[in-house]
Structure 1
């Protein structure tokens, strides 16, 4: 039976790819002072407008155990192997909840094949691994081979981004190794990445334009030495700069470079204005 791939909403996989490769998505949620929304049910324009109007940064929460259970039990009942790939456990309790669900399912269905993977990252760095796994599953690869495909892509992947400010990361407690920058932000535009599941400083430059140039340079050097697996450009309510980066990469790489907006859960922790890219290499 074809392996079922399940991920969470912070992968930000486009809907057409989910449908084409049968990827199932469980949703995290965001909460304003008096309202809560499932991320999957809230469009980005509405969310970022509401966040701009709010006096407080909203909070996020993981999927319920029940939603996770229902997502996994359906394919298991069909006799299908299931692989879940989730947001870094350093950023959310989603992965640990998925482990609890796995244990429950294996008690009920001892012969089931279930694997939960902590991506140790977020957004389309995770999404590209999920997509690669789903393509392998659709091509008929077996359970163990699909698991290895996920891990191989994650090992060769990178998420780099330039936030407009670090205030959102600081308030959300997700700043990780970038905390050393907080006292000297006035003259710095940091380029961040994700290391061991948390934000960390990759480079420090003086302007946003220089940050975009440096991110592109880093990616192109990685591709020159290791080859390109796949790439997307990310943005948080900043499509104009994302289009500019995608055009440069398209010309340099001679491939179509999709633009993938980041939604509410990651957006509230990183902040509007952010641009970046997720990619993986062939070696």
Structure 2
């Protein structure tokens, strides 16, 4: 019996990916116009970005504990192995809800083959890990192999991204009102990354022309062996700039395998239209890992 992989909508994978690799998806929730929508199921990201451009402020909420209880119980009853790769615990309470329900279900089904992993990753960085592990599961990998590989991939995933308007980060409490105002006046573009699951400002670039060149420099400084890995680019309704960045990466590093996806409604609600994110492994091969 192959191992089932569960992910949540913050992985920003397309329905094609879920279907092709038999990945089960559980959605987070978007609150807009006093209504609730399941991310990736009942609302599309474009709707959220258009609303934000009109000045609306969508809110988001985690997957409920009851949802995980239902899913985990069904797999426990069937004795079907399940690995849930979770959105970063530093950015959502979804992982904590899943861990709580994992323990509760295992109190009733002590031998339930259910495993919950905090990837400490987000968006397509998280999605690339899910895809890799789902391919292993589909190929018949053991639970030990899957857990070890998932932990390794998560540890070495890099997130480098920029937002188009600091106002959205201000609304989410990531920067001060003054910083957002001054940054907008000076056309400052921040570069941020994810460190141990947390969103951390890296540096500021004045003017958008220098932005992608600097992102590629950071990629070169932090990463390796780009030709033999899949690179991820996600965008908040700006496919043209995402494709521009992809072209620059192909030209500079000779990369062939690049996945481009739109940032989903939940993460996009905090990052805002125009966000561009780049994901790659800083150690794609275990042979380069020191003992």
State whether TM-score is above 0.5. Answer: yes
Aligned pair 1:49/2:73, yes or no? no
Kept in 1, the 8 Å contact 2:226–2:255? The answer is no
Other structure's SS at 1:161 match: strand
Kept in 1, the 8 Å contact 2:3–2:81? The answer is yes
Gaps of 5+ in 1: none
Moved more, 192-201 or 44-53: 44-53
Other structure's SS at 1:145 match: helix
Alignment RMSD = 2.2
Change (3 A) 1:225 1:5: closer
TM-score by length of 2: 0.88
TM-score by length of 1: 0.90
Gaps of 5+ in 2: none
Kept in 2, the 8 Å contact 1:26–1:71? The answer is no
Kept in 2, the 8 Å contact 1:215–1:276? The answer is no
Aligned pair 1:133/2:133, yes or no? yes
Q: How does 1:1-283 map to 2 (within 5 A)?
A: 1-40=1-40, 41-53=42-54, 55-173=55-173, 175=174, 182=180, 185=183, 186-187=185-186, 188-224=188-224, 228-251=228-251, 252-280=253-281, 281-282=283-284, 283=288
Kept in 1, the 8 Å contact 2:172–2:270? The answer is yes
Superposed displacement of residue 109, structure 1: 1.2
Quick one: distance in 2 between partners of 1:92 and 1:45?
Answer: 22
Superposed displacement of residue 138, structure 1: 1.3
CA deviation profile, 1:41-67 (whole Å, cap 9, x unmatched): 2112222223333x4411101122222
CA deviation profile, 1:203-230 (whole Å, cap 9, x unmatched): 3211122111111222244444677432
Quick one: distance in 1 between partners of 2:257 and 2:118?
Answer: 29
Quick one: distance in 1 between partners of 2:209 and 2:275?
Answer: 12
Kept in 1, the 8 Å contact 2:9–2:25? The answer is yes
Other structure's SS at 1:201 match: strand
Kept in 2, the 8 Å contact 1:4–1:75? The answer is no
The number of aligned residues is: 280
Other structure's SS at 1:199 match: strand
Other structure's SS at 2:242 match: helix
Change (3 A) 1:220 1:228: farther
Moved more, 198-207 or 67-76: 67-76
